[in-house]
Amino acid sequence: MVKVAILRPGYFDAQGNESTGYNSGRRDSYTSENVDEVTVAIQSLQKYYGVKNTVLVGHSGGAAYSGVMIGRTPGIANGALLLSCPCDINSWRSDHQAKPWGSLSPIDFYKSVPPNTKVIAITGDGDDNTRGYLAKDYVTALSERGINALFISASNAGHNETVNVELVTEPIKSLLNANALSITK
């Protein structure tokens, strides 16, 4: 098993690593160009390592990228774990009384997610940034198409607490299990 962490274009992590690319001042960075950069990076890693099964795990904006990629580039991954996902960017912006962006949004690509893709979305019931309905509505749209998708509301969890290892371990195992026929609902 190969595990790789990718930073969104123009973002940095707690260790000071910074990715190339432009993040639009952390505004409206869910662009075709940025999503394409991450998609190409994943495809290059898949080719380099010779992997056949890929699971995307993304938090917040990274979850939005993952949701866009599985619909915009069918077959990029067998599964996706979307943590605190703003799966409908326009509604997310509206929740914050902010002007709309021209961003790509997972909800806009749900119709092209391959039927064999598994999706688990987890949002904390205490998340004051990304409301649970954003991921729940996306999961409902996928489920209505017959996609194996599950929404989990994490009790007493805020926006950044959905990355808690105890919370994500079992969902990741479920997505990695190639023999699993369905996600337990």
- Which CATH number characterizes residue 107's domain? 3.40.50.1820
Question: Is residue 121 assigned to a domain?
Answer: yes
Domain assignment present for residue 143? The answer is yes
User: Is 46 within the bounds of a domain?
Assistant: no
pLDDT at residue 184 in the model? 36
Q: Residue 115: what residue type?
A: P
Residue 73 lies in a domain: yes
pLDDT of 3-38, one tens digit each?
Answer: 888 777 766 667 777 666 655 555 667 788 889 989
State the distance between the two ends of the chain, measured CA to CA, in whole angstroms: 26
Q: Does the residue 49 lie in any domain?
A: no
pTM of model > 0.85:
yes
Give how many domains the chain has, as a whole number: 1
Closest CA to 72 of 123, 29, 112: 112
Each residue of 18-34: b (16+ CB within 10 Å) or e?
ebebebeeeebbbbeeb
- Checking if the pLDDT of 118 tops 80, the result is yes
In a domain, 150, yes or no: yes
**Could you read off the pLDDT of 142-175 as tens digits, one per residue?**
999 999 999 999 999 999 898 888 889 999 999 9
| Strand, coil or helix: 55 | strand
Is 3 part of a structural domain of the chain?
Answer: no
Q: Is residue 32 part of a domain?
A: no
